[in-house]
Chains A and B, each alone.
Chain A
Amino acid sequence: MTLPVQTAPAPAGPAPRTPTRPAGHRRPGGHGGYLPYLIPAALLFVVVIAIPLVGNVWLSFTRWQGVGSPDWVGLEQYRKLFSDETFWLSARNNLALIVAMAIVPTFLGLLLAGAMFDVVGKRFGQRSASALRASFYLPQVLPAVVAGVVWGWILHPEFGALNEMLRFVGLDSWTQNWLGDEKTALLSVMAVLVWIQIGYPVVIFMAGLQRVDPELYESAEVDGAGWWQRLWLITVPQIRPEIFVVLLTCTIAALKTFDKIFVLTRGGPGGATNVPSYFSFQNFFEKANVGYGAAIATVLTVIIVGLTFLFLRAQHRDER
């Protein structure tokens, strides 16, 4: 997937305006002369993002096999979409992926980063904390597809390492077709996603904790606050901006999940791990149902933009 650090180096908002200068002391060249510098970026934006985006919305109002000319059908694709069981199943699965990619890693990341900062870093030295952090981060550096190949092999029903190990310790009855059985497929995918994702919140939260004044912890400790209380009363409020960023970027990444599903399960078995992003791909390129695929992709876009807007507004309100 997008490496989830994708939006990490982003400052939280547009830069503050510098105070207005007295007239006559303007930046070199004034405003007008700079416009040509925007041409390459604007051209790329229009060709690669704006036109395709509008084209996709237009396609979602048509029926088209990909050849010949599209037939205008108005809102029919959307009507079909909202009564399509497969779509709703994929939407529910996507919620499960949000749990696995955003909510669980944020929570675990808080526990791990808190423990590493508060206990390991202080009592056992910074080097052990860094080594632990690097271990948790390693899955994050893999292309998602490679992570999928690794786990596709480990979870393989016949020769996978997990089943082999279970047989080895005599737990034959525990062996499963992990990714091929409807009962276990979604949970297995979720577990893999947690493994992939966990390093990102750990690194971000540990970086955020550098800001926190150690005195806060020490005086809380003297006042008899336990580890758990310190986590909730000091760590969480202090790194609230980081928590916002992690939740937002991971939720968006979860909504865009395609590569892991493609490699691990191809949405199967029987749609048990299908997600809207993969479902739209199937309609575009496997079923030649372009209008329907475009409608799914449009709905996904609206959800992502809406969610981002809500998050940013909540963060803005929180900062006041």
Chain B
Amino acid sequence: MSAPTLTSRQRARCRPDPVRWVVLIGLAVLAVITLVPFGLVALNAVKSPADYSQGGPLQPPNSLYLQGIIDFWVRVDFGEKLWNSTVIAGSVAVFAVLVSVVAAYALGIGRVRGRMWIIAIFLLANLMPQEALIYPLYYMAKEVDLYDTRLAVIIIFTAVQAAFGTYLLSAVLSRFPTEILDAARIDGAGKWHTLWRVVVPMSWPTLSVLLVFFFIWTWNEFFIPLVMLVSNENQTVPVALGVLQGQRLMDATTQSASALLGIVPAVVFFLLFQRTLTRGIAAGAVK
């Protein structure tokens, strides 16, 4: 098995030995298993119900049948749900980044007194389970007539995401180069001016990562939108899909059509923002 003249290091470099092939094949099989559910959904979302009951879930469809997807789209008014999700997630991403960068400016650059405590409180706020906030929020929203409005959800998630954003950006901005701040001051720029003309443009790479993360996190949220948005025309994509799933009125192909409609936006975001996301996950995971 081993050539005595070669050190193991040389041998390893020369050719992948059988064990390595086994590892590679094992990993590939696991990866395929991970992807099977996606394939099943795609395969059966374009199948007619008759086709499904005849050939089962593994048979390729006899013909491309899009009626299931169209029917489901019309039934839940999916376009409206996409719009609601986009409005809510988009507004939250923008507002939460604005609130965080302004607060982090005071904490990271302004170094206001007691900032360690303030940052710790924001971090803790981010950890709170939403169950511990939901009933008072629900009650308060009813009191001020914001119950069942997208605005209520936007306000709540702006606060939740901004808590995290403030914590993260305070650390980032505390390393902001002092020379640049001094230069801005000497040029006569006030604090407000320095924030928008100097700090925000220079921190844009981090802010854009946050913007993407806030958008996707808010898009994926379920619990608070479920409680707050009861009427159909205000619901988000996850709420509409989740509530329908519970009703168990669907047949096999409709259900895979609904799953496909939920998967597509998520995969589109993933492909669009892949580089931003990996940068965020990889760079920030641990210092």
Residues of A within 8 A of B (CB): 1-3, 5-12, 14-15, 18, 27-29, 31, 33-35, 37-38, 40-42, 44-45, 47-53, 55-56, 59, 112, 115-116, 119-120, 123-124, 128, 131-132, 135-136, 138-139, 141-146, 148-154, 156, 159-161, 164-165, 167-168, 195, 198, 203-204, 207-208, 210, 218, 221-222, 224, 227, 241-242, 245, 252, 255-256, 258-259, 262-263, 266, 277, 280-281, 284-285, 290, 293-294, 296-298, 300-301, 304-305, 308
- A115 touching B23 by the CB < 8 A rule? yes
Asked whether A31 and B262 contact (CB < 8 A) given A8-B285, A128-B24, the answer is no
5 cross-chain CB contacts under 8 A: A9-B209, A9-B280, A9-B281, A150-B263, A165-B56
**Cα-based distance from A195 to B267 in the complex (angstroms):** 17
Instruction: Please name all residues of chain A whose beta carbon is closer than 8 Å to the beta carbon of B28 when the two chains form the complex.
Output: 132
Asked whether A45 and B122 contact (CB < 8 A) given A31-B112, A146-B241, A259-B223, the answer is yes
Main secondary structure of the interface of B (DSSP, over half): helix
Closest to A203 in B: B281
**Of the candidates B58, B170, B238, which one forms a contact with A259 in the assembled complex, judged by CB atoms under 8 Å apart?**
B238
Closest to B113 in A: A31
- B35 touching A159 by the CB < 8 A rule? no
Min C-beta distance of B224 to chain A, whole Å: 10
Asked whether A159 and B178 contact (CB < 8 A) given A49-B133, A143-B219, the answer is no
Closest to A200 in B: B281
B216, CB-defined interface residue at 8 Å = yes
Instruction: Please name all residues of chain A whose beta carbon is closer than 8 Å to the beta carbon of B237 when the two chains form the complex.
Output: 143
Q: Which of B26, B52, B262 has the most CB of A within 10 A?
A: B262
Min C-beta distance of B143 to chain A, whole Å: 12
Chain B: number of interface residues, binned into ranges: 35 or more
**Of the candidates B131, B132, B242, B280, which one forms a contact with A145 in the assembled complex, judged by CB atoms under 8 Å apart?**
B242
**Cα-based distance from A294 to B128 in the complex (angstroms):** 13
Instruction: Please name all residues of chain B whose beta carbon is closer than 8 Å to the beta carbon of A293 when the two chains form the complex.
Output: 131, 135
Instruction: Please name all residues of chain B whose beta carbon is closer than 8 Å to the beta carbon of A8 when the two chains form the complex.
Output: 280-281, 284-285
Asked whether A53 and B128 contact (CB < 8 A) given A28-B185, A41-B100, A221-B12, the answer is yes
- B255 touching A290 by the CB < 8 A rule? no
**Cα-based distance from A6 to B119 in the complex (angstroms):** 17
Chain B positions 244 through 287: 1 when the CB is less than 8 Å from some CB of chain A, otherwise 0: 01100001100110110011001101100000011011111111
Closest to A123 in B: B16
* Docked complex: B26-44 residues within 8 A CB-CB of A: 26-28, 30-32, 34-35, 37-38, 40-41, 44
- B34 touching A52 by the CB < 8 A rule? no
**Cα-based distance from A252 to B205 in the complex (angstroms):** 28
Instruction: Please name all residues of chain B whose beta carbon is closer than 8 Å to the beta carbon of A164 when the two chains form the complex.
Output: 56-58
Instruction: Please name all residues of chain B whose beta carbon is closer than 8 Å to the beta carbon of A148 when the two chains form the complex.
Output: 242, 245
- Tell me the number of A-to-B contacts counted with CB atoms below 8 Å: 352
**Of the candidates A41, A150, A294, which one forms a contact with B99 in the assembled complex, judged by CB atoms under 8 Å apart?**
A41
- A41 touching B103 by the CB < 8 A rule? yes
Asked whether A28 and B23 contact (CB < 8 A) given A38-B112, A135-B31, A153-B252, the answer is no
**Cα-based distance from A294 to B213 in the complex (angstroms):** 30
**Of the candidates A41, A145, A150, A304, which one forms a contact with B238 in the assembled complex, judged by CB atoms under 8 Å apart?**
A145
Min C-beta distance of A114 to chain B, whole Å: 10
- B131 touching A52 by the CB < 8 A rule? no
- B159 touching A28 by the CB < 8 A rule? no
- A14 touching B119 by the CB < 8 A rule? yes
B163, CB-defined interface residue at 8 Å = yes
- B181 touching A28 by the CB < 8 A rule? yes
- A40 touching B99 by the CB < 8 A rule? yes
Other than A15-B172, A138-B270, give 18 A-B pairs with Cβ distance below 8 A. A11-B287, A27-B181, A29-B185, A34-B111, A41-B162, A45-B159, A56-B132, A141-B266, A141-B270, A143-B238, A145-B220, A148-B245, A160-B252, A161-B44, A242-B286, A258-B130, A263-B242, A294-B132
- B23 touching A119 by the CB < 8 A rule? yes
Asked whether A168 and B56 contact (CB < 8 A) given A120-B27, A304-B129, the answer is yes
- A28 touching B102 by the CB < 8 A rule? no
Asked whether A262 and B246 contact (CB < 8 A) given A120-B27, A139-B34, the answer is yes
- A3 touching B216 by the CB < 8 A rule? yes
Instruction: Please name all residues of chain A whose beta carbon is closer than 8 Å to the beta carbon of B107 when the two chains form the complex.
Output: 38
Instruction: Please name all residues of chain A whose beta carbon is closer than 8 Å to the beta carbon of B226 when the two chains form the complex.
Output: 262
B140, CB-defined interface residue at 8 Å = yes
Closest to A259 in B: B222
Instruction: Please name all residues of chain A whose beta carbon is closer than 8 Å to the beta carbon of B223 when the two chains form the complex.
Output: 258-259, 281
Instruction: Please name all residues of chain B whose beta carbon is closer than 8 Å to the beta carbon of A266 when the two chains form the complex.
Output: 246
- A48 touching B133 by the CB < 8 A rule? yes
B234, CB-defined interface residue at 8 Å = no
Min C-beta distance of A302 to chain B, whole Å: 9
B76, CB-defined interface residue at 8 Å = no
B82, CB-defined interface residue at 8 Å = no
Closest to A276 in B: B131
